[in-house]
Amino acid sequence: MARNILMPNKPLHILITDPHLQGGGQVRYVSTLAAGLVQRGHKVTIGCRPGSVLVEQAKAAGAVAFDQFNFKGGVRPEAWRSDLNAAIHFLKEEAPDIIHVNGSQDHWTLAVADYWLERPVPLLRTRHNTYVVKNNLPNRLLNRQWTDFQIVVCDTVRRDLAAHPAFDGERLCTIHNGVDASLYAPDSEHRKKARAEFDCTDSDVVCGIVARLVEAKGHEFLFQAAVQLKEKCPQFRILVFGQGVLEKPLRIMATKLGIAPMVRFLGFRNDMEYCVQAFDICAQPSVDCDTSSFSMKEQMAAGIPVVASDYGGLTEIISNGKEGFVVPAGTVSPLADALKMLVEIPNLRTEMGEAGRQRAIAEFSSDVFVQRTLDVYRQVVEQHRIAKETGKIG
């Protein structure tokens, strides 16, 4: 397999892999990155499972889908053997310039395949969550010897990993994921239409929460905060977007708390750029998992102030008192107080919303995200080339 020395501006062939079948933040990360790289003239192949939503998203991005992987967890010898064969075949035939993995299953598959071929291709991983990595020999081998570099989507997690024995802190960097700020620009016509569709009046103050209906996202704390606002702020409304195992329990909870008339469950939508125009406030009361929330940034780009918990990397997205408010994770009264202030002071909503939009454009746009990632690719490719030439890798 012949490999050419890359000139600084030479287009790259990037293999991006992900094990997910359905949508979510990680899948959005991959599709956003792929589209931005293709727009910059690079060739992108997305390695995924048959039937993954990434197959269609690859086409939409102008990338190629290589859906020959199983990427299943657990002890599955046949699936593991099939994946290794597919990975080795791809690396030998296509000779990508860099491998970018995004999950555990694809990380192990591509790392072992690359090692089997004597590490011809640099391998990079993005860490998307706060899950604990065990300090054992396999993880030290995978992350220290078989992985050239790792991107972490928030600085909080990067600092934790830098102190972890399974990682080399010098080969980690933080790049927050990005959103299309222009797509989410405030739109008065869409606002009027969306509020009518969701049965919200002009006098209502609408709080939106866009998240999977799971415990980690903290819906229960938002609902309990709404109880405190029910009498003092009767115009307060909550629009819940998303699906998950807690939908039925949350509906029951809203009824028991006496806030059911204030809450509307609207399920999954693939047109959130339109839906968020109905919001006056964004809520992100997460208590687990969140690192670099797409939904927060999208709503900031729409000029919506945010009330977020201090969990994970959320405090890196907004500053308390500037683009919104930061409250202790897993609490109710501080969340209710912040929401009440935004409900009662329209000018504050406007001021914080505009500050959030400007920050989303400057720091969290898809253009910024893609360019920062591309800069890392070129750095890693060059370092890998030098290490191979000097015999320090193999």
What local confidence, expressed as pLDDT, does residue 270 receive?
A: 87
Domain boundaries along the sequence of the chain: 13-178+366-389, 188-363
What local confidence, expressed as pLDDT, does residue 394 receive?
A: 62
CA proximity to 366, closest of 152, 176, 162: 176
- 43: Cα separation from own chain's centroid: 22
- 275: Cα separation from own chain's centroid: 19
Specify whether the CB–CB gap between 158 and 130 falls below 8 A.
no
Phi, psi (rounded to 5 degrees) for 307? -115, 115
Domains 13-178+366-389 and 188-363 in one fold: yes
Q: Which CATH superfamily is domain 188-363 in?
A: Glycogen Phosphorylase B; (3.40.50.2000)
Specify whether the CB–CB gap between 111 and 364 falls below 8 A.
no
Class of domain 13-178+366-389: alpha beta
What local confidence, expressed as pLDDT, does residue 8 receive?
A: 61
Specify whether the CB–CB gap between 394 and 118 falls below 8 A.
yes
What local confidence, expressed as pLDDT, does residue 364 receive?
A: 96
Q: Mean pLDDT of residues grouped by 10 in the chain (394 residues)?
A: 54 97 89 97 98 96 97 89 97 98 97 97 95 95 97 95 97 96 96 98 97 95 97 96 96 98 95 97 93 92 97 94 98 98 98 98 96 98 94 77
What local confidence, expressed as pLDDT, does residue 1 receive?
A: 39
What local confidence, expressed as pLDDT, does residue 392 receive?
A: 81
